[in-house]
Amino acid sequence: MPPTVTSEQPTLVRLLPGSNFTFSCQYTGLPSPIVVWEHNSAAISVGGGVGIVTGANSSKLTVIEGTEERGGVYRCKATNSIGTSSVEFTVLSKSIHIPWKVAAIDSYL
């Protein structure tokens, strides 16, 4: 049975500088799949504020004190001999500035 990966979390989050974030995914498949986490298509290593806990049917990625460099696409990917499945999470880390036009207050009085 090829792997299936799901998550009940939002797939788009905004990162505030210095804040932590956690993503989790659930997976199935026979033979039991191997699960890896990726950030911007590169395998993630544990350490430096990054932790990964993988159980029998779920995996959790935690990032401590996120920085702008932690933004991007995170992927929980499960692979077995039959196939691959994944779920993606996008972290927005840059400030978005929206230009506002401010009218003179006395024009409304």
Query: Would you kindly state where each structural domain of the chain is located, as residue ranges?
Result: 4-108
pLDDT band at 17 (very low <50, low <70, confident <90, very high): confident
- Cβ neighbours around 39 below 10 Å, total: 20
Question: Cα angle vertex 6, ends 25, 3, to 5°?
Answer: 100
The pLDDT value given to residue 95: 57
Q: What is the mean pLDDT of the segment spanning 53-67?
A: 94
Q: What is the mean pLDDT of the segment spanning 8-23?
A: 91
Query: How far apart are alpha carbons 76 and 25 in whole angstroms?
Result: 7
Q: Residue 65 above 60 pLDDT?
A: yes
- pTM for this model (two decimals): 0.83
Q: Residue 7 above 90 pLDDT?
A: yes
Q: What is the mean pLDDT of the segment spanning 73-101?
A: 85
**CATH superfamily for domain 4-108:** Immunoglobulins (2.60.40.10)
